[in-house]
Structure 1
């Protein structure tokens, strides 16, 4: 049995970086929604609440895109 340790290390490193990035991105989305809640009545449609909500939705969309790409890689 021959194990390619370089390939195994590469897979481990990439999966660690992607996991940390994805969790960080999701955390930014949750923080953005929390900021939107705390800025509730300060600005209406164009204020800081709308900016926080838009940023949070963008973070969640990027998370969903990363998960969909991972599933596509597994299926393809």
Structure 2
């Protein structure tokens, strides 16, 4: 039995980068949906709530697309 260590290392590296990246994007989405001030700003010249929420929804859409692509790859003939 012969193990291709280079291929195993590539799979490990790509899996690590993809999982950390996906968790990071999801975290940005969570931060974007957190409540701001009632006047629509984060305070002190911050980003308006509408822009933060839009960015958060884009992050969640990227996460959903990554999950859907993973399911597609697993189930593709």
Q: TM-score range by the shorter chain?
A: 0.7 to 0.9
Please give the root-mean-square deviation of Cα atoms over the aligned residues, in Å.
Answer: 1.4
Which one has the bigger helix percentage?
1
Which of structure 1's runs of 4+ aligned residues deviate more than 6 A?
none
Match of 1:24 in 2: 24
Q: 2:39 aligned with 1:41, yes or no?
A: yes
Normalising to structure 1: TM-score of the pair? 0.86
Q: Deviations over 1:8-57 (max 9, x none)?
A: 000000000000000000000000011xx1234327xxx81111110000
C-alpha distance in 2 between matches for 1:17 and 1:40: 37
Question: How many pairs does the alignment contain?
Answer: 71
Distance of aligned partners of 1:67 and 1:40 in 2 relative to their CA distance in 1, 3 Å threshold: farther
Point out where structure 2 has 5 or more consecutive residues left out of the alignment. Answer: 42-46
